Amino acid sequence: MTREEAIKKLLEEDPEFRHHYKKHEELDKEIAKLEKHHPMTHQLEMQIEQLKKEKLYHKDIMEEKIQRLLRNG
């Protein structure tokens, strides 16, 4: 099974994975939008950093599930 196949399978069959996937995508879009803001304020930089940490949290959970599926088939 390829990584892409594992992701597809998890998206179809695992509601928790799907939740983290969607949240990761939403945060990615929000971060991109905020990073285009000019002038960049300290408060905005802090908000972006917090969103990046949250995005990483969701990515870590997804990665764990992907690796588990790839190991166990």
DSSP characters over 6-59: HHHHHHHH-HHHHHHHHHHHHHHHHHHHHHT-SSPPHHHHHHHHHHHHHHHHHH
What pLDDT does residue 48 have? Answer: 98
pTM for the whole structure? 0.88
What pLDDT does residue 73 have? Answer: 76
Structure tokens at 18: 């799907």
Question: In the predicted model, is pLDDT for residue 13 greater than 90?
Answer: yes
What are the pLDDT digits (tens) for 26-63? 999 999 999 998 888 999 999 999 999 999 999 999 99
